Amino acid sequence: MSSSWRAPTLWRILLMLARWCIPLLCRLRITGTIPPNLVNKPLILAGNHIGLFDPVALTAACGRRGYRPRILTTAGVLRAPLVGAVLRSCGHIAVDRKNGGVAALDHAVTALRAGAMVAVYPEGRITLDPGGWPERPKTGVARLAFATDAAVIPVSQWGAHEMVVYHGVGASIRRLLSALWRRPTVHVHFGKPITASELRRYPSPQLAANHVMHRIREDLAALRVAEPGLPAHIDHSRPLSTARALVAES
């Protein structure tokens, strides 16, 4: 299926701006690529969620690579007076956690069937893992692949957690401004595709989604070889929990 969804002009402008502006705040490193034969087909970008700056880093990376995904975004952000209006105009999809994200999955399926690229964070929240590693995901990424036969691109990110803090508007602004001279490295890696048929080998959507997160974790390990345990940068405003630890694949 070729893409019948055309990114709105505003979204294309923002992707271009992010492509050039975000590297002013950080050292943006982009590795990996999406195979050309998949770029104009329904495709799911699935990334680990380590901080509030993740979507910004992903936007900049996609701008550099020429990708124009529709991003599943927390409904509260899309309801914000200014930012929400902009994101809605860009075609992004609201995730309302009150109904379990059911409507968001329906909209994402519709978008994929129309040929769009859709970006999701399978964990559904910023990871609370003490080491900053991916948590056990929700089943949505697998259900999207099953419903549309779309391939999944595992996207691993590291360094975005240094750009802003987990909690505190003022602290986040100060942290972001300090990035102008700190110049942290933010790495975004596009991994090898996972086909829907590969995911269907697993007996449940949960195990299929776990497989996606394990692929993300494998690529993430290569991005943080100097930080195999705890991150070098500790955000003390981020709560910690091992309740949703990602179990090893059998």
User: pLDDT tens track of the chain, all 250 residues?
Assistant: 445 688 999 999 999 999 999 999 999 999 999 999 998 889 999 999 999 999 999 999 999 999 999 999 988 888 888 888 999 999 999 888 766 667 899 999 999 999 999 999 999 999 999 999 999 999 999 999 999 999 999 999 999 999 999 999 999 999 999 998 999 999 999 999 999 999 999 999 999 999 999 999 999 999 999 999 999 999 999 999 999 999 998 7
Look up the CATH number of the domain holding residue 47. 3.40.1130.10
Give backbone dihedrals phi and psi of 118, rounded to 5 degrees, phi first: -120, 135
Task: Indicate whether 87 belongs to any domain.
Answer: yes
Which H helix or E strand runs over 88?
helix 83-89
Task: Indicate whether 204 belongs to any domain.
Answer: yes
Interatomic CA distance for residues 153 and 192, integer angstroms: 6
Give backbone dihedrals phi and psi of 2, rounded to 5 degrees, phi first: -85, 155
Q: CB under 8 Å to 97, separation ≥6 — which residues?
A: 74, 75, 124
Interatomic CA distance for residues 12 and 190, integer angstroms: 20
Which residues form the domain of 171?
A: 9-223
Interatomic CA distance for residues 66 and 39, integer angstroms: 9
Task: Indicate whether 245 belongs to any domain.
Answer: no
- pLDDT value of position 5: 80
- pLDDT value of position 58: 97
SS3 content of the chain, % helix, strand, coil (to 5): 45, 15, 40
Task: Indicate whether 229 belongs to any domain.
Answer: no
Task: Indicate whether 228 belongs to any domain.
Answer: no
Q: What is the pTM of this model?
A: 0.95
- pLDDT value of position 32: 98
Q: How many domains does the chain have?
A: 1
